[in-house]
Amino acid sequence: MQNLGDFQNIKLDATRPVLEAITLSCERDQRRLFTGLSFQLQTGDMLRIRGPNGSGKSSLLRLLCGMTQPVSGHVDLFGQALVRQRGTLASKLLWIGHAAGVKALLTAEENLAWLGALHMHGANASIEQALFAVGLRGFEDTRCHALSAGQQRRIALARLYLPDLPTLWLLDEPFTALDKAGTKQLEAHLARHCDRGGTVVLTTHHELSQQAYAYKDLDLGQYAA
């Protein structure tokens, strides 16, 4: 079994699943949301998780990124149990939650520097380009309390345009508060990321008009307990 220091070699092994869920069961507030859920993702895969409200879409994403633990079953990341990698997960996956997660008193630039520091060092030179990519050129020094909900969401999503990111992206309702142009741009960016060898898992009710070549769809309602 490879140790955690061998991550670079694990990442380059195209035959090893990037992410594997094995007979997962999940509870929230003493209510079983889903049970017996299994799937496997390789490099290049895009998985959309859909289902009715309350079916556990966000809860599943939190299981996949190690924020919570399943009632039964387990998650493997790059061939190793996720629970054994808690200290190094920030270098192996990027998670963006349903809320924008920006700090109101910081500027757009300061927020992106803070968020980007979760994954890499020395990314400040690329922050301006990332904000430009999401349509926020000219807002670098604007404090976030003065921005709209859609603009704050774009700051969170600007992380996806920074260099040297983990190749596995877990995104909870990434299209929330985006306008039509922003949604179209994000769809294209996610598809390109997968087609270049990345992996994306996202929850959304939105029907994607642009998909990665290796696209999968998971209806979580089929696993309701």
| Among 21, 23, 36, residue whose Cα is nearest residue 76 | 21
The parent domain of residue 18 ranges over 1-92+166-225
Q: Is 97 inside a domain boundary?
A: no
Q: Is 224 inside a domain boundary?
A: yes
Q: Which among 138, 164, 190 is the end of a domain?
A: 164
Q: State whether 83 and 185 are in the same domain.
A: yes
Q: State whether 159 and 174 are in the same domain.
A: no
Q: What is the DSSP letter of 212?
A: -
Can you count the helices (H) and strands (E) in the chain?
Answer: 6, 9
Q: State whether 3 and 76 are in the same domain.
A: yes
The pLDDT of residue 90: 83
Q: State whether 71 and 126 are in the same domain.
A: no
Q: Note the pLDDT tens digit of each residue in 100-131.
A: 889 999 999 999 998 877 766 545 668 999 99
Q: Is 210 inside a domain boundary?
A: yes
Q: What is the DSSP letter of 181?
A: H
> What CATH code is carried by the domain that includes residue 70?
3.40.50.300
Q: State whether 82 and 178 are in the same domain.
A: yes
Q: State whether 186 and 159 are in the same domain.
A: no
pLDDT at 95 exceeding the cut of 60: yes
pLDDT at 184 exceeding the cut of 90: yes
Q: Note the pLDDT tens digit of each residue in 17-73.
A: 999 999 999 999 889 999 999 999 999 999 999 999 999 999 999 999 999 999 999
**Rounded distance between C-alpha atoms, residue 38 and residue 72, angstroms:** 12
pLDDT at 4 exceeding the cut of 90: no
Q: State whether 1 and 39 are in the same domain.
A: yes
In total, how many domains does the chain have? 2
Q: For 206, what's the count of Cα atoms within 13 Å in the CB-facing half-sphere?
A: 20
Query: Would strands 45-50 and 72-77 be described as parallel, antiparallel, or unpaired?
Result: unpaired
Say how many residues make up the chain: 225
Q: Is 172 inside a domain boundary?
A: yes
Q: State whether 175 and 86 are in the same domain.
A: yes
Q: State whether 29 and 56 are in the same domain.
A: yes
pLDDT at 11 exceeding the cut of 50: no
Q: Note the pLDDT tens digit of each residue in 195-205.
A: 999 999 999 98
Q: Which among 164, 182, 213 is the end of a domain?
A: 164
